Each structure stands twice: as structure tokens, then as C-alpha cells.
């Protein structure tokens, strides 16, 4: 009984305060287990060697761990949930639009989205960082991924998407038996209705593109024009699931990273001054995306606050992970907060120090905010550029300052939000001037 209660307590702590829970294991190289409802026992590692064992395991030995609580929002065909040959084929179509060399087509739209959402702020106002970050990153997905240029239609996409993501409450996502339609009422009915509204918008956008014959250079256009190695295109149901995944995963993860980055920049005057100094010489969004110190700030933000704190695999065959023999069916994972705070790998890991990323490039198994191996996030390069351009555009437009108590006090905790984590309370920055 005591062991069961202890296991439930560990799972609850990991769910409510993932950074705090997993950082406790940063100094201990021993793998540890946490039992999650619906998923079972997960063996976690916190070292680069353990991460290497998981991330270099052959695709034939690993599957996405199912059931996954985000399935009601993203759909069963989501790249996040696919495994095996279906995952490989979908990835071969979805990866090319996010190549780093295509960023030049996207950075101007990212800057425009950021400018639009801070246009009404003036000295004496406050920038509510979380609200602004959500609005900017959602608008970026709608413009860059879906190619929606009409302002009223973008607002409609934003409204429906926000309602869908809010309807996916933690309880509804984690407890499958609550997913019942009670005569068209209740939380499950609302989620299904909002998902249907979004799918209707997506279907309309897809058909308009096909009918026009001009697919365009945005992500949707490139996907519509792409085939796998057997010449097959994505079916409409699969395509809608992938687009919803980009909305949920891309928007929520970038939003929380943007919030944390602005928080840390304005919490430390020396960091803020260095970023501002770099930005003074950046004339275009493309220049901003290439700034080394700003890039290091983003990398350090993702080290300290990995937006998705765990990387999971379900084994389909035997595998030794960090010296532990695991069997087919076992679930293994990387605890990113522990890996990223491991004192044997990181000097003074508790400090927010962007310079560590200017001095050397960390090994891929020591630093893995986007996962790794054959399941590494396809949007990693896009996310980095999105964050850099959004931060740079905001700071080139507004002079901001954190209130004195925010600079002196502790940083917010990271708490779960949908697919990602977010600061536990809103971060407010004072607007000192418009530049």
C-alpha cells in the first residue's frame, strides 16, 4: 500500500511540476522509474550515455508510446503518434518544408506577425508576455504554415484554434472514459465541435489551393505538392491531422519558449544589453535570425526550460538502456530537465548563462530539447528562427523593463499546458518607450 501511494505521489509530482521533479535526478546517474496512469511504468535516464542508447536505437525497435493524451486534438494520424513505415512515409513528406534553407521565405512573415501584435503598446503600458507570445506564435502558424493572408480569416482560425486547445483540458486528455458525448453537451462534445470547425476551415483552405492551381511556397503548398518515395500524397484526413499537429505542437511549444526567453533576457540587465547591442546592427529579419548571442540565449532557454520535458519510446524488442536490460513492451524515456542540469556535463547548471553555447556546441545526447534520432522534431530549425525573429522584432520595437520585484524574485515554475509546459503565472514587462 505504501509503495503504491509513493508511486502515485511521484507520478502526480512529475505531472504537476515536471521541471522540479526531474531536476532532482540530475546529479544521480542511476535510471529511475515513474508509473503513469494509462501508460504504465517508464524507465527514465538522465545521462548522455542513457540518452544515446534511446536516441540511436533502430526505428524497428521503437514505437511512439500509446495511448497519448494529445490524440483527441491532433488525431490518430499525427506524426507524433505514428510509428514504423507509416511514420517514415509521413515524415518524408512533412520534413522538406521545414529545411533551414527555406527560412528566407518565412522570416518576414514572422516579423510582421510580431509587429502587428505589439502595435498598440505605448510607454506606460505593460506587455503581458504569455498572451502576446500565444497570439504571435499562433498567427505565425496560420500565416506561414497555412498560408492564410486575409486578416479576417486569420482571426477566425485563431478563434477556433484557441477554443479547441482550451477545450483539451488535462482531465479530459488523461482520462479516456470522460470522452463521451452527453446528448451533444459536456467537455468532450465541445472539443469535437471545435475540432470539426477547424477541420472545416482547413478543408476549405486545401480545396482553394487545389482549385487555384497555385500551391505557393508556404508549408501547406509544399506539402500539397509533395509525395513519398512511392509517389503517394497525403490523404485529406491524414493531412488535416498533420496540420492540427503543427498548430498544437508548433504553436504551444514556441509560445512557452518565447515567454521564457523574454523573461530571462529582461531579468538580467547584462543579457538584455548584449541582445540589444546585437540587434542594433541587424537591419532585416534574416539578420536577426543569424545573430549568435541571441541564438545562444534561445539555446540556453531551451536547456533550462525544455518545453516538452520528456522523450518517450515504447520498445518492440529487447534493448539495454543505461546498463538496464529492457524488454519488448517496456517504455523508456529521457528526463530532459535532469539531462540538461546534470552537473557532470554542465558547468554551474543552475545559472542562466548563454555564453556556454558560444564557447562550444554541446553533444547531441547531452542537449536534446527537440528530441533526436529518427523522431527528432521536424520543426527545430523553424522554431529557432521563429523565436529569434519574434524576440528581435519585439526588442527593436519596444524598450521593455521587468518590474523590480520580478527581477529580484524567483522565476515562475513550469506547469503543464496541453502538449507543452508554460510559466506558472503571467510575466509582465513594462513598456518604457517605442523605438
Task: List, for residues 169-226, the tens digit of each pLDDT value.
Answer: 544 454 554 555 655 566 778 888 999 999 999 999 999 888 887 767 788 989 998 9
What is the reported pLDDT for 178? Answer: 52
Q: Residue 6 pLDDT > 70, yes or no?
A: no
What is the reported pLDDT for 170? Answer: 47
What is the reported pLDDT for 189? Answer: 82
Annotated binding site for heme, which residues? Answer: 377
Evaluate whether residue 387 is within a structural domain: yes
How many other C-beta atoms lie within 10 A of the C-beta of residue 3? 7
Q: For cell 490523404, what's the residue?
A: 235
Contact in structure between 386 and 254 (CB atoms under 8 Å): yes
What would the mean pLDDT of 33-59 be, rounded to a whole number?
Answer: 94
pTM of the model: 0.93
Kindly report, residue by residue over 375-421, the tens digit of the pLDDT. Answer: 999 999 999 999 999 999 999 999 999 998 888 788 899 988 777 88
What would the mean pLDDT of 300-327 be, rounded to a whole number?
Answer: 97
Burial class of 15 by CB neighbour count within 10 A (0 to 12, 13 to 18, 19+): middle
Q: Residue 273 pLDDT > 90, yes or no?
A: yes
What is the reported pLDDT for 177? Answer: 46
Evaluate whether residue 324 is within a structural domain: no
117 vs 152, 204, 330, CA distance in Å? 15, 26, 46
Evaluate whether residue 316 is within a structural domain: no
pLDDT-above-70 percentage for the chain: 93
* Backbone conformation region of residue 420, classed left if phi is above 0, alpha if psi is from -120 to 50, else beta: beta
What is the extent of the structural domain holding 129? 70-307+345-434
Evaluate whether residue 29 is within a structural domain: no
CATH number of the domain where residue 113 is located: 1.10.630.10
Annotated binding site, which residues? Answer: 377
Q: CA-to-CA distance for 206 and 147, rounded, in angstroms? A: 10
Q: CA-to-CA distance for 72 and 245, rounded, in angstroms? A: 11
CA torsion 234-240-244-249 (nearest 10°) is -10
**Does residue 176 or residue 155 have the better pLDDT?**
155
Evaluate whether residue 273 is within a structural domain: yes
What is the reported pLDDT for 179? Answer: 53
Q: CA-to-CA distance for 196 and 332, rounded, in angstroms? A: 34
What is the reported pLDDT for 99? Answer: 82
Number of DSSP helices (H) and strands (E) in the chain, helices first: 20, 12
Contact in structure between 173 and 69 (CB atoms under 8 Å): yes
Evaluate whether residue 187 is within a structural domain: yes
- DSSP H helical ranges for 95-146: 107-117, 129-140
Q: CA-to-CA distance for 349 and 339, rounded, in angstroms? A: 10
Highest mean pLDDT among 242-256, 342-356, 409-423: 342-356
What is the reported pLDDT for 172? Answer: 43
- Phi, psi (degrees; rounded to nearest 5) at 375: -110, 15
What is the reported pLDDT for 185? Answer: 60
Cell reading at 203: 478543408
Domain count, the chain: 1
C-alpha triplet 215, 221, 227: angle, nearest 5°: 105
Q: Residue 351 pLDDT > 90, yes or no?
A: yes
Nearest CA to 102 out of 14, 202, 226 is that of 226
What would the mean pLDDT of 73-93 be, rounded to a whole number?
Answer: 94
Evaluate whether residue 381 is within a structural domain: yes
Per-residue confidence at 250, pLDDT binned at 50, 70, 90?
confident
Amino acid at each position: 500500500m505504501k509503495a503504491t501511494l509513493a508511486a502515485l505521489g511521484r507520478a502526480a509530482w512529475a505531472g504537476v511540476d515536471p521541471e522540479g521533479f526531474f531536476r532532482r535526478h540530475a546529479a544521480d546517474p542511476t535510471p529511475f522509474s515513474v508509473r503513469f496512469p494509462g501508460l504504465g511504468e517508464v524507465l527514465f535516464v538522465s545521462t548522455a550515455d542513457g540518452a544515446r542508447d534511446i536516441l540511436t536505437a533502430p526505428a524497428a525497435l521503437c514505437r511512439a508510446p500509446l495511448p497519448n493524451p494529445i490524440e483527441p486534438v491532433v488525431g490518430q494520424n499525427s506524426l507524433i503518434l505514428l510509428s514504423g513505415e507509416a511514420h517514415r512515409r509521413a515524415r518524408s513528406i512533412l520534413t522538406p518544408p521545414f529545411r533551414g534553407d527555406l527560412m528566407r521565405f518565412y522570416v518576414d512573415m514572422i516579423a510582421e506577425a510580431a509587429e502587428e501584435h505589439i502595435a498598440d503598446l505605448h510607454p506606460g503600458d505593460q506587455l503581458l508576455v504569455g498572451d502576446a507570445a500565444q497570439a504571435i506564435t499562433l498567427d505565425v502558424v496560420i500565416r506561414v504554415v497555412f498560408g492564410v493572408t486575409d486578416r479576417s480569416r486569420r482571426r477566425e482560425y485563431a478563434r477556433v484554434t484557441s477554443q479547441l486547445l482550451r477545450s483539451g483540458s488535462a482531465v479530459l486528455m488523461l482520462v479516456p472514459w470522460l470522452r463521451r458525448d452527453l446528448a451533444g453537451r459536456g467537455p468532450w462534445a465541445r472539443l469535437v465541435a471545435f475540432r470539426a470547425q477547424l477541420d472545416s476551415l482547413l478543408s476549405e483552405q486545401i480545396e482553394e489551393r487545389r482549385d487555384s492551381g497555385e500551391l505557393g511556397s508556404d508549408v501547406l503548398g509544399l506539402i500539397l505538392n509533395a509525395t513519398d518515395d512511392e509517389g503517394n500524397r497525403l490523404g485529406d484526413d491524414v493531412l488535416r491531422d498533420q496540420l492540427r499537429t503543427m498548430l498544437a505542437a508548433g504553436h504551444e511549444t514556441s509560445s512557452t519558449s518565447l515567454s521564457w526567453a523574454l523573461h530571462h533576457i529582461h531579468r538580467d540587465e547584462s543579457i538584455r544589453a548584449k541582445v540589444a547591442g546585437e540587434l542594433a546592427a541587424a537591419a532585416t529579419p534574416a539578420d536577426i535570425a543569424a545573430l549568435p548571442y541571441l541564438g545562444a540565449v534561445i539555446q540556453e532557454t531551451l536547456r533550462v526550460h525544455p518545453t516538452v520535458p520528456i522523450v518517450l519510446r515504447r520498445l518492440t524488442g529487447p534493448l539495454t538502456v543505461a546498463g538496464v536490460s529492457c524488454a519488448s513492451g517496456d517504455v523508456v524515456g529521457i528526463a530532459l530537465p535532469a539531462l540538461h542540469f546534470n552537473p557532470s556535463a554542465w558547468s554551474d547548471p543552475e545559472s542562466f548563462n548563454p555564453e556556454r553555447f558560444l564557447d562550444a556546441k554541446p553533444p547531441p545526447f547531452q542537449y536534446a530539447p527537440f528530441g533526436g534520432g529518427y523522431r527528432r522534431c521536424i520543426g527545430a530549425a523553424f522554431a529557432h528562427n521563429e523565436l529569434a525573429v519574434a524576440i528581435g522584432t519585439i526588442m527593436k520595437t519596444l524598450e521593455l523593463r521587468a518590474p523590480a520585484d520580478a527581477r529580484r524574485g524567483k522565476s515562475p515554475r513550469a506547469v503543464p499546458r496541453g502538449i507543452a509546459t508554460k510559466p506558472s503565472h503571467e510575466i509582465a514587462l513594462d513598456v518604457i518607450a517605442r523605438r
